[in-house]
Amino acid sequence: MVAQFLRLKLTLLGNTFRRSPIQLVGMILSLLYGIGLAGLVATGLVLLRTTTPEIARTIVIVFGTLVVLGFMLLPLAFGIDDTIDPRRFTLFGIPTTRLAYSLAIAAFVSVPSLVITAFALAQIVTWSRGALPLIIALVAAVLIIPTCVLAARVSTAIAASFLGSRRAREGSGIVLVLLLALSAPFIAVLAMIDWQSQGLPIMRRIAAVAAWTPFGAAWSAPGDAALDRVDMALLKLLIAAAFLAVLWFAWRALVAAMLVRPQREAAARLYSGLGWFERMPDSPTGAIAARSLSYWGRDARYRVAVAVIPIVPIIMIVALLVAGVPTAIIAWVPVPVMCLFLGWMVHNDVAYDSSAFWTHVSANTSGVDDRWGRLVPVLFVGIPVILLGSVITVAITGAWANLPGLIGLSACVLLVGLGISSVISAGFPYPAVHPGDSPFAQPQAAGTTGSVVQSLSFFATILSAAPVVALILLGEISNPVWHWAAFGVGILIGWFTMYGGVHWGGRIVKRRAPELLAFTLQN
Question: What is the pLDDT averaged over residues 296-302?
Answer: 79
Q: With 70 as the cut, is the pLDDT of residue 191 above it?
A: no
Is 8 a member of any domain? Answer: no
Looking at the 3D structure of the chain, how many domains does it have?
A: 2
- Give dist(CA 354, CA 98) in Å, integer: 48
- Give dist(CA 295, CA 432) in Å, integer: 15
Is 273 a member of any domain? Answer: no
Burial of 105 (C-beta count, 10 Å sphere; 0-12/13-18/19+):
middle
More confident residue, 169 or 515: 515
Closest CA to 469 of 516, 386, 509, 410: 410
Q: With 90 as the cut, is the pLDDT of residue 480 above it?
A: no
- What is the per-residue pLDDT for 445? 46
Is 274 a member of any domain? Answer: no
Is 17 a member of any domain? Answer: no
- Give dist(CA 452, CA 455) in Å, integer: 5
The pTM of this model reads: 0.58
Closest CA to 427 of 453, 407, 446: 453
Cβ contacts of 337 within 8 Å, gap of 6 or more: 312, 313, 316
Q: What is the pLDDT of residues 343-369, one digit of tens each?
A: 888 888 888 887 788 888 888 888 899
Q: What is the pLDDT of residues 23-60, one digit of tens each?
A: 566 566 666 766 777 788 888 888 888 888 888 888 89
Whole-Å CA distances, 122 to 43, 64, 83, 368? 7, 12, 29, 66
Is 128 a member of any domain? Answer: yes
Domain holding 55, by residue range, is 24-260
Q: What is the pLDDT of residues 64-94, one digit of tens each?
A: 998 898 888 877 765 555 667 777 777 777 8
- Give dist(CA 77, CA 159) in Å, integer: 8
Residues 485 and 423 in one domain: yes
- Give dist(CA 457, CA 420) in Å, integer: 6
Query: Which of 260, 294, 314 is where one domain is finished?
Result: 260
Cβ contact 157:254 at 8 Å: yes
Residues 213 and 75 in one domain: yes
Question: What is the pLDDT averaged over residues 262-280?
Answer: 65
Residues 68 and 108 in one domain: yes
Q: With 80 as the cut, is the pLDDT of residue 272 above it?
A: no
Q: How many CB atoms lie within 10 A of CB 35?
A: 14
Transcribe 397-463 into DSSP letters.
Answer: H--GGGHHHHHHHHHHHHHHHHHHHHHHHHHS----PPTTS-TTSPPSS--HHHHHHHHHHHHHHHH
Residues 462 and 404 in one domain: yes
Q: Which amino acid is at 456?
A: L
Residues 333 and 241 in one domain: no
Residues 319 and 220 in one domain: no
